[in-house]
């Protein structure tokens, strides 16, 4: 076994088409374990963990995983904390429908910008400080709900709290410093899914806390304000935990390692250029707006919808609304898993079809939700809607790592921002004006999802094909190396900066599906160790 690994042209990865791209662990000898490193989990040469043990707290890898997803979860809880309490808040602040709609839009708009900035912050200060700074500086914005006494104040507070959703970027960035690239998909999908779950838990948590405070004797218009101390304190607690228990990289903190020269830097303008000139980036910005964006919109409107349409009690509406967000615990990782399962026989084409089918089904169930007039049918539609839409989110990030190797960070950031933009747009179009009811708004949104998912068919990879077209027959362009190498110019190639991309290209051959065995692997120089 030992003499076949690392010999040029003899990589067996992908040949049998049985190798998982999404896996719980990476087996040696595909990625050799570093025998000298003293970590509780097996690590690779960069000291990134090769195994993902969900219920372990092993420092630093699993500790980081739990700190990371919990911080992101906390920010989701506080961003959507107002949503289940809107029936009380709208009476206290004398809001009209437009105010409620605008506040919902504001809550997701702030992070369009902050998600873009967070990538740079993680580069400069490290993900640990990026996360801690954001979560502790946004704690005052959560506490500021106590002061709110008008529609404008309410909208401003929700806008500022929404900035904290940029912890998505620090979460994913931090995971990629701690976990090996071959399992990063599952790790990131789980972290993102469990974080997104906060949007569901808050629909249960806030009415519950509100009810407790009311029973203790507070009037309704005071009780909802006191309830906001809960997410605020969570911010402070998580921030302190991140600062005391977290570290940027397996070997230590960022500023120490940068001085040693271990962490190389790429040029940001170049990285940005290759991200924005790739048309696939923009299609995925739209698509993610129609999966994550819709999820955020529903987090904002669904509790009020059930409260008003079916005359339910506040906490009953909260329980039903919560099941929407909580489906994330398995639905988002499931979407990624289905993407991988489709990739095994069909490669990237399978991933694209999986995304198209799942997201379109999400749109159809959304239409059903809007049209359902009985409570049981409404709940059933909502559950099916939540599973398919969240699976679409997971499936999206099963494809994104392959769009670009050099600009993955920026593309992830842009896609994430696109998700928030989609949420703001759908809330503006369907849930802010009094011209139509919320139920009609939901149905119209479902139609928009179905229509805006068609562009998946336009995503074409020359080396793998697209939904309706096979891979190109051109001998040069059909190589993964050509596609990923195109992101570097000749000068950079001569300096050897593109070796990471070449290695990635070789590993990505699994995206050919069952065709892999028939194409000869090219003879290339031994890739420099990543």
Partner 1 sequence: MAARGLLLASIYLSLLMHECYGVTLFSSLQKTLQVTTTTKRGQVLKAGEDKVTITWGLNQSLAAGTDSAYKTVKVQLCFAPVSQKDRAWRKTEDHLNKDKTCSFKIVEKPYNKSLQTLDWIIESDVPTATYFVRAYALNAERHEVAYGQSTNDQKTTNLFDIQAITGRHASLDIASVCFSVFSIVALFGFFFHEKRKARMSQQK
Residue that the structure tokens 């960070």 belong to: 409
Contact 100, 84 (CB under 8 A): no
Helix (H, G, I), strand (E, B) or coil at 25: strand
Segment 113-172, which members bind partner 1 (CB under 8 A)?
A: 129, 132-133, 136-137, 139-140, 143-144, 146-147, 149
Task: Pick out residues in 247-286 that bind partner 1 (CB under 8 A).
Answer: 255-256
Size of the site for partner 1 (CB under 8 A): 43
Shortest Cβ 310–partner 1 spacing (Å)? 10
By CB under 8 A, residue 97 contacts partner 1:
yes
Nearest to 402 by CA among 345, 477, 340: 340
End-to-end CA distance of the chain: 22
Task: Identify the H or E element spanning 321.
Answer: helix 314-326
Q: Which is nearer to partner 1, 310 or 482 (CB)?
A: 310
**Which of 86/384 has CB closer to partner 1?**
86
Is 98 one of the binding residues for partner 1 (CB under 8 A)? yes
Q: Report the candidate in 316, 340, 461 with the shortest Cα–Cα distance to residue 398.
A: 340
Residues 403-462 that bind partner 1 (CB under 8 A): 434, 437-438
Within 13 Å of residue 332, how many CA atoms lie on the same side as its CB?
A: 27
Residue 73: closest CA among 14, 116, 135 = 135
Q: Which is nearer to partner 1, 304 or 340 (CB)?
A: 304
Q: Where are the alpha helices (DSSP H) in 93-138?
A: 97-125, 127-137
Under 8 Å between Cβ of 228 and 143 = yes
In the bound complex, what is the minimum distance in angstroms from residue 418's beta carbon to partner 1? 30
Q: Which stretch binds partner 1 (CB under 8 A): 183-191, 232-240, 282-290, 509-517?
A: 232-240
The answer to whether the CB of 169 falls within 8 A of the CB of 115 is: yes
Is the bond preceding 39 in cis, omega lying within 30 degrees of 0? Answer: no
What are the helix and strand counts (H, E) for the chain?
24, 0
- Binding partner 1 (rule: CB under 8 A), the pick from 6, 45, 219, 440 is 219
Binding mask 75-94 for partner 1 (x = CB under 8 A): ------------x--xxx-x
Q: How far is the CB of 222 from partner 1 (least distance, A)?
A: 5
Q: Is 489 in the site for partner 1 (CB under 8 A)?
A: no
Q: Does 373 participate in binding partner 1 (rule CB under 8 A)? A: no
Which residues of this chain interact with partner 1, rule CB under 8 A?
A: 87, 90-92, 94, 96-98, 129, 132-133, 136-137, 139-140, 143-144, 146-147, 149, 219-222, 224-226, 229, 232-233, 235-236, 239-240, 243, 255-256, 304, 308, 311, 434, 437-438
């Amino acid at each position: 076994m030992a003499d076949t690994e690392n010999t040029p042209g003899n990589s067996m990865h992908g040949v049998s088409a049985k190798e998982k791209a999404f896996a719980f662990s990476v087996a040696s000898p595909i990625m050799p374990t570093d025998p000298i490193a003293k970590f509780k989990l097996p690590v690779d040469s960069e000291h990134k963990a090769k195994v993902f043990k969900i219920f372990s707290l092993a420092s630093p890898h699993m500790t980081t995983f739990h700190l990371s997803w919990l911080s992101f979860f906390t920010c989701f809880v506080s961003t959507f904390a107002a949503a289940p309490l809107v029936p009380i808040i709208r009476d206290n602040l004398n809001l009209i429908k437009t105010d409620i709609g605008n506040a919902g839009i504001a809550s997701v708009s702030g992070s369009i910008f902050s998600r873009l900035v967070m990538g740079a912050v993680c580069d400069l200060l490290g993900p640990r400080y990026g996360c801690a700074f954001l979560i502790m500086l946004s704690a005052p914005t959560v506490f500021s709900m106590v002061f709110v006494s008008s529609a404008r104040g309410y909208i401003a507070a929700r806008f500022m709290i929404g900035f904290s959703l940029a912890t998505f970027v620090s979460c994913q960035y931090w995971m990629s410093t701690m976990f090996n690239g071959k399992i990063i998909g599952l790790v990131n999908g789980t972290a993102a899914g469990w974080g997104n779950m906060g949007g569901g838990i808050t629909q249960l948590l806030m009415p519950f806390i509100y009810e407790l405070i009311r029973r203790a004797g507070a009037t309704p218009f005071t009780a909802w304000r006191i309830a906001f101390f809960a997410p605020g304190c969570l911010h402070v607690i998580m921030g302190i935990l991140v600062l005391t228990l977290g570290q940027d990289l397996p070997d230590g903190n960022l500023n120490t390692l940068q001085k040693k020269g271990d962490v190389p830097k790429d040029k940001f303008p170049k990285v940005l250029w290759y991200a924005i000139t790739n048309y696939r980036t923009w299609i995925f910005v739209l698509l993610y707006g129609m999966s994550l964006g819709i999820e955020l919109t529903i987090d904002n409107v669904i509790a009020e919808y059930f409260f008003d349409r079916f005359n339910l009690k506040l906490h009953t509406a909260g329980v039903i609304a919560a099941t929407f967000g909580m489906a994330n615990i398995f639905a988002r990782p499931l979407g990624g898993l289905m993407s991988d399962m489709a990739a095994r026989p069909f490669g990237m084409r399978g991933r694209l079809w999986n995304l198209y089918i799942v997201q379109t089904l999400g749109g159809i169930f959304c239409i059903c939700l809007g049209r359902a007039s009985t409570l049981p049918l409404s709940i059933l539609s909502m559950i099916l809607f939540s599973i398919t839409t969240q699976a679409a989110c997971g499936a999206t990030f099963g494809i994104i790592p392959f769009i670009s190797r050099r600009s993955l960070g920026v593309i992830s950031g842009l896609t994430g921002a696109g998700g928030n933009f989609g949420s703001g747009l759908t809330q503006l179009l369907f849930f802010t004006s009094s011209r139509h009811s919320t139920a009609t708004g939901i149905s119209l949104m479902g139609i928009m999802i179905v229509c805006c998912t068609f562009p998946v068919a336009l995503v074409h990879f020359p080396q793998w094909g697209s939904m309706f077209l096979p891979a190109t027959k051109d001998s040069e362009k059909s190589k993964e190396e050509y596609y990923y190498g195109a992101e570097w110019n000749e000068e950079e190639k001569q300096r050897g900066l593109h070796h990471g991309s070449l290695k990635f290209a070789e590993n990505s051959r699994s995206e050919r599906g069952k065709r892999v065995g028939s194409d000869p692997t090219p003879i290339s120089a031994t890739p420099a160790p990543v």
